[in-house]
Amino acid sequence: MAEVKLLGLSYSPFNHRVEWALKIKGVKYEFIEEDLQNKSSLLLESNPIHKKIPVLIHNGKPICESMVILEYIDEAFEGPSILPKDPYDRALARFWAKYVDDKGSAVWKSFFFKGEEQEKAKEEAYEMLKILDNEFKDKKYFVGDKFGFADIVANGAALYLGILEEVSGVVLATSEKFPNFCAWRDEYCIQNKEYFPSRDELLIRYRAYIQPMADVKLIGLWYSPFSRRVEWALKIKGVEYEYIEDDLHNKSLLLLQSNPIHKAVPVLIHNGKPLCESSVILEYIDETFEGPSILPKEPYDRSLARFWAKFFDDKEQEKAKEEVYDMLKVLDNELKNKKIFVGEKFGFVDIVANAAALWLGVLEEASGVVLVTREKYPNFCDWRDEYCTQNKKYLPPRDELLAHYQVYIQRIKGVEYEYIEDDLYNKSSLLLESNPIHKNIPVLIHNGKPICESMVIVEYIDKTFEGPSIIPKDPYDCAIARFWAKFLDDKTSRENNT
């Protein structure tokens, strides 16, 4: 049996990236086709976080996320280099790869969403195509004069974009609007034909694969415990839904129309009908969709569950410490020798208790005000610790201070630097010139050359400057570090960089 296995889908652009890199390196591998409707135990064990393909298994060790896998392949196997050797060129390659990868969801939404969301996604896709059209003026490759990392990651823009246009009937890229991009795409597909799956087969696959978008939408905030309750219930029921992140400083028209009374998240929209208030939404989900029960079946247990859920919601809205202490005292007594509020099965009230379990501790740490101590509330603390451990997959990550991490990492290397505070409402010309693509911080400028995207910068710092290593030396450990870095970055990318 080959020491290298690849779990994937033959029609996936992410899977195709990995196969391409393996072929460039001349690595023999066993390909295992997955079924996303009935995922294998090998996939679930190998990628327990995302439960997605592709997964590369090398000597029994799984590596996840296509771009992480590409870097691992480049570092672990002999053969032609995929990433450039020069640190600056490597940073550029990572930047462009991340840029193209990040825009994938906007491209997808352009084809298969409807209404306002589709138009917004199209604008983002057009902006990407405009940038790429400008980038490919008189050049064939993203970095230097050699096909490499960023070019492989761009397979979605080169081949799959045209496939999705044909399947959906929505055309984004035309020679009139984007002549340089289209010329690059045509040559890309001709020059790399041997590495591509059959276009006709891809069309057949995608026509069969593409289904109408789910008729369930959730308007929320990723960091809100109330939004998280609803997402949790939908996942328990196995309901596919479209998540729409809102901005409380600039509320969307959809939110204002769907919840004209409170103008607050979360709002669940099912078949065009909006439902508001997290506890109300939870009961609706339980009664409407098939799957494990959230509320108990027995009437008395149901009333108990509703009582405790209302208790939590009422207490969360009271500000005085005395009221919070009273709540904690009640909960500490209630949770003596028990893990679940009603009966023996996790359900409605336990989901509603997410704020007491996780968010209370986060707010304590953020404010410096400590309400809960083990001496005062031992039963509550035991319950909270177990709750967060047992339900980790349903809870958001705890720490989101990306900007502070950037400064911290630079200090690890002992690099002296000039820090320039920017104003995102009145961006400096230096920022706009240094990061013309995203126009965002952070930007590291080294010897006059700008490097953008925090994770790209971190790897550049590690490779360029002397000092303690930030990225592990071992290729597998390096891949694991990149996986978790991407996981955390993805989870925090919804929030403004500031």
Residue 423: inside a domain: no
Identify the CATH number of the domain in which residue 253 sits: 3.40.30.10
Residues 6+ apart with CB under 8 A from 453: 94, 95, 98, 438
Share of the chain above pLDDT 70, in %: 90
Identify the CATH number of the domain in which residue 153 sits: 1.20.1050.10
Looking up tokens 């959730």 gives 218
Average pLDDT score over residue span 399-414 = 47
Residues 339 and 476 in one domain: no
Residues 224 and 113 in one domain: no
Domain boundary among 235, 257, 288: 288
Residues 181 and 39 in one domain: yes
Strands, sheet with 30-33, edge to edge from the N-terminal-most edge strand? 30-33, 4-8, 55-58, 61-64
Number of domain units in the chain: 4
- Give the domain range for residue 462: 429-495
Residue 323: inside a domain: yes
Residue of higher predicted confidence among 213 and 313: 313
Is-cis flag, bond preceding 468, omega within 30?
A: no
pLDDT digits (tens, 9 = 90+) for 8-53: 999 999 999 999 999 999 999 999 999 887 899 999 999 998 899 9
Residue 448: inside a domain: yes
Q: How many CB atoms lie within 10 A of CB 52?
A: 19
Residues 184 and 333 in one domain: no
Residue 422: inside a domain: no
Residues 30 and 51 in one domain: yes
Residue 486: inside a domain: yes
Average pLDDT score over residue span 101-110 = 89
pLDDT beyond 50 at 213: no
Domain boundary among 378, 413, 448: 413
Residue of higher predicted confidence among 106 and 316: 106
Residues 225 and 188 in one domain: no
pTM exceeding the 0.85 threshold for the entire prediction:
no
Residue 210, SS3 per DSSP: coil
Residue 36: inside a domain: yes
Q: Where are the beta strands (DSSP E) in 194-339?
A: 216-220, 242-245, 267-270, 273-276
Residues 162 and 52 in one domain: yes
pLDDT in the model for residue 321: 63
**HSE-CB of 261 using CA atoms within 13 angstroms:** 6
Residues forming a β-bridge with 298 = none
Domain boundary among 413, 448, 476: 413
Residues 188 and 222 in one domain: no
Residues 148 and 86 in one domain: yes
Residues 36 and 106 in one domain: yes
Q: How many CB atoms lie within 10 A of CB 388?
A: 15
Residue 126: inside a domain: yes
Q: From 324, 19, 322, select the one nearest 155 (Cα to Cα).
A: 19
Q: Where are the beta strands (DSSP E) in 211-251?
A: 216-220, 242-245
pLDDT beyond 90 at 354: no
Residue 418: inside a domain: no
Residues 260 and 223 in one domain: yes
Residues 399 and 448 in one domain: no
